[in-house]
Amino acid sequence: MTDLENNYLKRSANHSQGEDVNLDRSKQINSLVKLAVIIAAVIGVGLYTNSIDTIAVIAALIVIIMVHELGHFVTAKMSGMKVTEYFLGFGPRIWSIRKGETEYGIKAIPAGGYVRILGMNSLEPVDPADEPRTFRQSTFPKRMMVAVAGSFMHFVMAFLLLWSLFSFIGVPNPSKVQIAALSKFDGRTTPAAQAGLLPGDLIVSADGHNITSSSQLASIVSKSVDKPVSLEISRDGHLIKKTVTPINAGEVTISGQPVQPAGKPPIGLIGVELAAPTQELNPLAAVGMTITNMWSYSIATISALVSHFSPHGISNYVQQLQHPSTQITSKGASSRFESPVGIVRLASQAAQSGIGPVLSLLFSINIFLGIFNLVPLLPLDGGHIIVAVYERLRSTKRKRYYVDIVKLMPLTYVVVTLIVLLGATALYLDVTHPLSNPFG
């Protein structure tokens, strides 16, 4: 072949590569435009329906999912494993872009996310050239790091959310009593309004007794019908003395309804709604409280999971499917699992109640997902952890042991079936018998 022919072939090859690069760039630009249109459409719908707060919380839930997968992604890359996909959702692709050996994108059903790491088990066929970079060929420490990373990210997010709640939003202080609102009596001014009490006032003492609970103040007021009660309140950091004279609750109606049935002994009433005031913590002090609360909430979550899957818990769940309940066990926590429909409803309710309930909801979701993913059963992350540990224990210096995944497949199918069944029944309950608002 002559030099002229060689130069011609090189120019042709370079021209072809240039066309491929331009084509690839064109696809990337089209993908980015498509993603921008989708995001703009979602924001537009939120603004039009006045549900932008709810959409923001849902976006935060999506971020939680992808941060979980980001933990697997980063640790796999750090460990030298080959990662071919990093996607939000399942089903057909609606947007994707390739960078290097990894494709990033969004699929049509945003019910989760995934990272595809080559060779997660011994059954997956892999190109022999890529075998050294598979999950199954990596060292035990690297496999453990990748498997644990998702739950670790959930606990990191839970810590940051709860710490932010304690440091910047505040939490109720049960040892203090605050006037949340003044009541409205039919046809008369309330004693509280006559005394000049205002929403936001802290009740420090009543008739010389330090007030540390709403029930304590209610007890003093109820026994003082037509008798002046001396109050010491804190308003804007200043102590103020007020005198209020409770009236007989039997003489009061609100919206046409009597406060106290006729014939009952007289009970004093001043016309206030009480609440525990929120109090911000010093950021350093909030660290210790955050860790303490994370630990106690994690233990409670583990206990709840064990209870749900115990024979008694399964029996109760079956009865609930037969006779759905709308009751909740405690504020902010339901007595059953939530489907994506239920979670979206909770997100909307939390968004309408303020940033505090939103942070609390996101915190609880992270703790649950962090623990649930560590359950030692495939296909959950805990299943990969237990397989790696078992292989390490069975391996020797001369020969590495590999678990026969085929033998685990029946159990894995059972686990997947149970998860699908749980999701389907939770969806049924959320659609037909939604829980009452836990943030109301």
The full set of domains in the chain, from first to last, is: 172-279 (2.30.42.10), 283-432 (no CATH)
Residue with tokens 């004093």: 268
Sign of the C-alpha dihedral computed for residues 245, 251, 257 and 262 taken in this order = positive
Which neighbouring-strand residues pair with 241? 232
Q: Is the pLDDT of residue 55 over 90?
A: no
- Mean pLDDT for 164-168 is 93
Composition of the chain by helix, strand, coil, percent to 5: 55, 20, 30
- Mean pLDDT for 146-171 is 95
Confidence at residue 332, expressed as pLDDT on a 0 to 100 scale: 38
Higher confidence at residue 437 or residue 128? Answer: 128
Which two three-digit tokens encode residue 215?
A: 């029930």
Q: How confident is the model at residue 109 (pLDDT cuts 50, 70, 90)?
A: confident
| Residue 201 · residue 237 · CB < 8 Å | no
- Mean pLDDT for 84-108 is 90
Q: Is the pLDDT of residue 21 over 70?
A: no
Give Cα 29 distance to the centre of its chain.
Answer: 33
The helix (H) or strand (E) run that includes residue 395 is: none
Task: List Cβ neighbours of 309 (8 Å cut-off, separation of 6 or more).
Answer: none
Q: Is the pLDDT of residue 437 over 70?
A: yes
Higher confidence at residue 34 or residue 240? Answer: 240
- Mean pLDDT for 296-314 is 92
Confidence at residue 203, expressed as pLDDT on a 0 to 100 scale: 94
Q: Is the pLDDT of residue 9 over 70?
A: no
Cα gap 220→193, rounded to integer Å: 18
| Residue 88 · residue 65 · CB < 8 Å | yes
Confidence at residue 226, expressed as pLDDT on a 0 to 100 scale: 92
Confidence at residue 216, expressed as pLDDT on a 0 to 100 scale: 93
Q: What stretches of 164-296 adopt beta strand conformation (E)?
A: 171-172, 177-182, 202-206, 209-210, 229-235, 238-244, 247-248, 253-254, 257-258, 268-269, 272-275, 278-279
Q: Which of 179, 195, 190, 174 is nearest to 270 (CA)?
A: 190
The helix (H) or strand (E) run that includes residue 298 is: helix 283-308
Q: Residues 328-335: contacts with CB within 8 Å, 24+ apart?
A: 328/435, 328/436, 328/438, 331/438, 331/439, 332/357, 332/360, 332/361, 332/364, 332/438, 332/439, 333/364, 333/438, 334/435, 334/438
Confidence at residue 329, expressed as pLDDT on a 0 to 100 scale: 42
Confidence at residue 335, expressed as pLDDT on a 0 to 100 scale: 58
